[in-house]
Copies of this chain bind each other. A is one copy, B any other.
C-alpha cells in the first residue's frame, strides 16, 4: 500500500493522516495556531521550501481546513485563516506538544506554555470521558470496531496470507 491510498481505508485515523499526517503539514498547522496567516511568514518559521508549502496550502484549502482571503489589492495578496474544521485540529497539536513536553528534555524550560483565559492558570492536556467526566487514558477504555472495519481487516489478513503462500511457492 502507498500512503496516498490510506484515504480509502475504513479508518478514522487513516483519514486524518491523509489530511494532515505528514511532518510539514503538522509544522504548518502549528504556525497557523500560533497566529501566522501569510505564506511568507509560514515559510519563515517552518523553513519549508516555497514549492512544498504551496502544495500543502492548496491541500489544506481544498480540505476546508483553511480559507484564503484577499487582504490587499494591486497586487492582490492573500492570507490563510483556519476554518471551524481547522480549529478542531487543535487537540491533535496540543497532544503532540504535551507528549514531547512530558518526555523530552528541555533544559531551558518548556518552549510553549498554554494559559487558560478563563481561570488564568497554565494548563496542560487533560482528557476526560465525555460521558462521566472522569480522566481517561489508553488503559481505561475498550475499542469496538464497526462491521465495515472488521470486514476490511479480514480482507487484509487474507491478502497477506496469499502473499506469504505465493512467496513460499
**A interface residues with partner B (beta carbon < 8 Å):** 1, 3, 5-6, 10-19, 21-24, 26-27, 30, 33-34, 40, 43-48, 85, 87-104, 106, 108-119, 121-134, 136-149, 153, 156-157, 160
Contact = CB atoms under 8 A, between A and B. Distances in A.
B21 A6 contact: no
- Which 7 A/B pairs are nearest by Cβ-Cβ distance? A1-B47, A90-B138, A91-B95, A44-B160, A121-B131, A119-B132, A16-B96
Given A127-B91, A129-B121, A26 B17 contact: yes
Contact of A89 (B88, B99, B109, B144): B99
B43 A108 contact: no
A54 B94 CA distance: 29
B24 A96 contact: no
Contacts of A92: 92, 95-96, 99
24 contacts: A3-B23, A12-B97, A12-B98, A12-B100, A14-B27, A18-B23, A19-B100, A21-B23, A21-B26, A44-B156, A87-B139, A88-B102, A90-B137, A91-B99, A111-B148, A113-B143, A114-B143, A115-B141, A116-B129, A116-B141, A119-B129, A121-B131, A123-B130, A126-B129
Contact of A113 (B48, B98, B111, B144): B144
